[in-house]
Chain A
Amino acid sequence: MILEGRGLTVHYPNAAAAALAGVDAWLRAGELVAIAGPNGGGKTTLLRALLGAVTLTSGVAKVAGRPLGSVPRAELARIVAALPQREEPAFALRVAEFVQLGRYAHLGPFTPVGAKDRALVRDTLERCDAWELRDRTIDTLSGGEWQRVRVARALAQAPRALLLDEPTAALDVRHTMELLELVRDLVSGGLGALVVTHELNLAARFADRVILLAGGTVQAVGTPSEVLTESTISRVFDWPVAVTTWNGGTPQVVPLRRDEHTK
């Protein structure tokens, strides 16, 4: 078990309701877990809670079996790489420098960036199909290039788990599929991946397990076929849907038009 949260409860100051209320979630090596659910349902908060980036009102979050509070940030960064949804660097680094920042958790404050680090940077950039971008500055990248470069930096941390918050939100079909295929490959190689996404149909095709969050609580959890049913999705998103299957089993959700469900 790489990440484990039990009874995670988060109450933001000045908020009436808890953002997260008694949620259990975990991530093992070699599995891809999707966190889905309506806007404001607690997806990002769950990710942050598992990373110790928000103060827990109650509950316990553990990484590699140890309570998060006892793990220094640099050590955590060697186990888990996380990409928040938005990131706005203040200065225009070159892509290779940017990816190299992923190595800092492995280096002391003065250890020079060595040949091994550079080789790893090159390796991760190649794996993300971004090596040719290495001399560009990050403010010149397109949305798809930017996401690939960020994933490369996350991989440069040499983590055991990858946490991605809506990584495909700004991507077109091809870049979305490429990114998720890459994540799937990494998972086959033994990495654990937790992906927050709005795209139920992609979750259905790529995830081993889906956690459906709404109102800060888990509405359903299980394989895509168990979670993505007409009744559950209609209820949780408060909108009628039909569920069909693709390729002999993978559920695919079709939201209904108004005249389609009044019939």
Chain B
Amino acid sequence: MNRRLGLIAALVLASAILGLSLGAVSIAPGEAWRALWDPAAPYAPIIRELRLPRVLLGFLLGGTLAVSGASLQALLRNPLADPYLLGLSGGAGLGAVLAIALGAPFAWAVPAAAFVGALGAVALVYTLGRTSSGRLEPRILLLAGVVTSGFATAIMTALMVLSNAAELRNAFLWLLGGLGRASWQSLGFFVLWIPIPLAMLFTAARSLDLLALGEETAGYLGAEVERVKRRVVISTALLTAAAVAAAGMIGFVGLVVPHAVRRLFGPLHGRLLPLAFAVGGALLVGADAIARVVVRPIELPVGVVTALIGVPVFAVLLRREIR
């Protein structure tokens, strides 16, 4: 167990070194380290203004997505749940494209519109998934998420076909996910936004253990089931919508990381959530570093890299589970 924890610490450290060193300009780790502390060092502007906020934002984003995914998987009792499942993906895409079709300035309006679209979609899913007695029905939530996303995507596609703004390509690329716009400012927003919803999930760790047994059993073991379900849906929605606003829709981190961590450390959430945060963060920082260098000087959307890493890993895990 301690060796495995050491492995995770090494992973986090390695990803940070990669994230600071790799890019359009390669900087030796030693030089990068000096630049962190010395504003007069040769690469100080690149490291301090571009790469450090990017690495930090990437780490927090990856961690947030992994924790959201892990929590939703317990809530829906479905290991295939990812953070965008409850309508967020369609809602965010529609918001972003709508903002561009209306000619809003890209820099802030698109992330803001994606954020609003994502939360709007979850709100709709939440309303659809509530029974007359006010209970949340996970099965219905899941279906409502799928149809809401499908509907929003249909409108989004129609908008994209009807308008021919060149910026739509940018919107599409942005939605694929990337940390290219990371700055101290976007990091600041994100850092201020996430602590409360993250704390809501971390403090629900034991309730999530119980919820994963099924709602009836969870109640008999002492969980306030409806309260926990509301808390998880709202917290993951707030986190994921903020993640989308900060860097588009980065796939597979929220799906694959909880799986992998569960395999190594077991499914108890008191351990799973913090470790998934660390692994998800490291994975995203590492993937972002790769995205910057594989086809230099073009940056791949980091979502493409996480998918290229995530899908094979996931396929292997899945095959093992089936066997």
Contacts and interface: CB of A to CB of B under 8 A. Distances in A.
Interface of A: 13, 51, 53, 55, 72-78, 80-84, 87-94, 97, 101-102, 104-105, 107, 109-110, 153, 157
A77 B73 CA distance: 25
Nearest to B223: A73
Contacts of B219: 51, 53, 73
A90 B73 contact: yes
A94 B220 contact: no
Interface string B61-82: 0000000000001100111000
Contacts of B216: 53, 84, 87
B170 interface: no
Contacts of B212: 89-91
Given A13-B132, A90-B212, A76 B222 contact: yes
Contact of B267 (A78, A81, A91): A91
Given A87-B217, A88-B214, A90-B79, A104 B209 contact: yes
A82 B203 contact: no
Q: Is the interface of B mostly helix, strand, loop or mixed?
A: loop
Contacts of B204: 109
Interface of B: 73-74, 77-79, 132-133, 203-207, 209-210, 212-214, 216-217, 219-225, 262, 266-268
A93 B208 CA distance: 13
B77 A90 contact: yes
A90 B221 contact: no
A101 B209 contact: yes
A261 B134 CA distance: 52
Contacts of A109: 203-207
Contacts of A105: 221-222
Given A90-B74, A90-B79, A77 B217 contact: no
Contacts of A104: 206, 209-210, 221-223
Contacts of B206: 104, 107, 109
Contacts of B133: 55
Contacts of B74: 90-91
Contact of B220 (A81, A93, A97): A81
Contacts of B225: 73
B14 to A, nearest CB: 28
Contacts of A101: 209-210, 213, 221
A105 B78 CA distance: 25
B223 to A, nearest CB: 6
B221 A93 contact: no
B66 to A, nearest CB: 16
A87 B213 contact: yes
A161 to B, nearest CB: 12
Given A88-B214, A104-B206, 9 more contacts: A74-B223, A77-B220, A87-B216, A91-B267, A93-B267, A101-B221, A102-B221, A104-B222, A110-B203
A110 B216 CA distance: 23
In order of increasing CB-CB distance, the 4 nearest A-B pairs are A105-B222, A77-B222, A91-B267, A74-B222
B217 A84 contact: yes
Contacts of A110: 203
Nearest to B215: A53
A91 B211 CA distance: 11
Contacts of B214: 84, 87-89
A100 to B, nearest CB: 9
Residue among B204, B207, B219, B223 with most chain A CB within 10 A? B219
B224 A93 contact: no
A110 B206 CA distance: 9
5 contacts: A74-B222, A74-B224, A88-B77, A89-B212, A97-B268
